[in-house]
Amino acid sequence: MKKIAVFTSGGDAPGMNAAIRAVVRTALYKKLDVVGIMRGYEGMIDGDFMEMDSRSVSGIIQQGGTILQSARSKRFRTKRGRKTAFKNLIKAGIGGVVAIGGDGTFTGANVFMQEYDIPFVGIPGTIDNDLFGTDFTIGYDTALNTAMAAIDNIKDTANAHNRLFFIEVMGRDAGFIALRSAIASGAEAVLIPERKTNIDKLMKTLTKNNEKRKRSSIVIVAEGDDAGGAFKIADEVKSRFDKFDIRVTILGHLQRGGRPTCMERVLASRLGMEAVKALLDGKRSVMIGQIHQDIVYTPFAKAIKHHQKLNSKLLEMVKVLG
């Protein structure tokens, strides 16, 4: 293996730049050439590659987003798209690829691996933390801290007006951001896709808080909650008890940007280094994760199928402490 490539794909996540930097610098240290593929699988199909040296990744460790940009590629889902991508990789002399992304990225890589013979390894990069095979994904810690800071601000104004706030955080299929940001901000309740939402139960909690004359109540709603999002749930609650003074905030994409936290940068740097070593050790079709500080290799097929389990003790914490 003389030359490797690195790309970012799917929703960007803070810390992706730190991972790119680590991949590039480790590759150069190991005397490999390295190219960056722009816009994920889209750039692979278009042959949008750029040679990278040590300077191309200077001053990026502290930046959110991704210098290689990202995309959700429809063309890579077609046989034709994947064939063109393979031809471009071969033409560029690439002997191994590091894919940084989430579910969709590794689903694509998994299909590609069954059709073509170029080793891919993956680095978990998504704010959702929904991949099996790592304690934490790159981007999760920063997104949590961003959400927590925003919720703290909302709590100030909620307290000032005795209001009930429904705050929607990201997580189309997973409640990890919702759960930990709820604990960290002292929220009264959390609604997540992994548990069926019970409005009667929620009403009980909220009316109890009202009777206790709590100054405010905060309910964190994960984007993918089955009851239909923060606005819909707020309407339902209002229709059952119109004395609540309710407001809704959708945090949205502000959770995806920003300076990566220290933990994020260290995790991303470690996984980036280990990804290059894994390629050189002959590993393929695996995601590099960290579990209890140890490096763990999980086949793509497993990382995407077995979603990380939600710790129900964390749910209990919201109930008892909120």
Residues making contact with ligand F6P (CB under 6 A): 10-11, 126-128, 170-172, 223, 256
Instruction: Tell me whether residue 95 or residue 229 sits nearer to ligand F6P (CB atom).
Output: 229
Instruction: Tell me whether residue 33 or residue 264 sits nearer to ligand F6P (CB atom).
Output: 264
Q: Which of 12, 33, 103, 128 is catalytic?
A: 128
Nearest-CA neighbor of 75 among 108, 102, 33?
108
What's the closest the beta carbon of residue 139 comes to ligand F6P, in angstroms? 8
What's the closest the beta carbon of residue 102 comes to ligand F6P, in angstroms? 6
Radius of gyration of the chain (CA): 22
Give the C-alpha distances (Å, rounded to integers) separating 160 from 26, 62, 157, 214: 52, 35, 5, 11
For residue 99, what are the contacts with CB-CB under 8 A and spacing of at least 6? 7, 9, 105, 106, 109, 120, 121, 122, 123
Instruction: Tell me whether residue 33 or residue 42 sits nearer to ligand F6P (CB atom).
Output: 42
Nearest-CA neighbor of 10 among 43, 40, 48?
40
Instruction: Tell me whether residue 132 or residue 297 sits nearer to ligand F6P (CB atom).
Output: 132
What's the closest the beta carbon of residue 171 comes to ligand F6P, in angstroms? 5
What distance in Å separates the CA atoms of residue 111 and residue 165, rounded to the nearest whole number? 43
What's the closest the beta carbon of residue 79 comes to ligand F6P, in angstroms? 24
For residue 182, what are the contacts with CB-CB under 8 A and spacing of at least 6? 189, 190, 218, 220, 318, 322
| Catalytic status, residue 128 | yes
Nearest residue (beta carbon) to ligand F6P:
11
**Active site (catalytic) residues:** 128
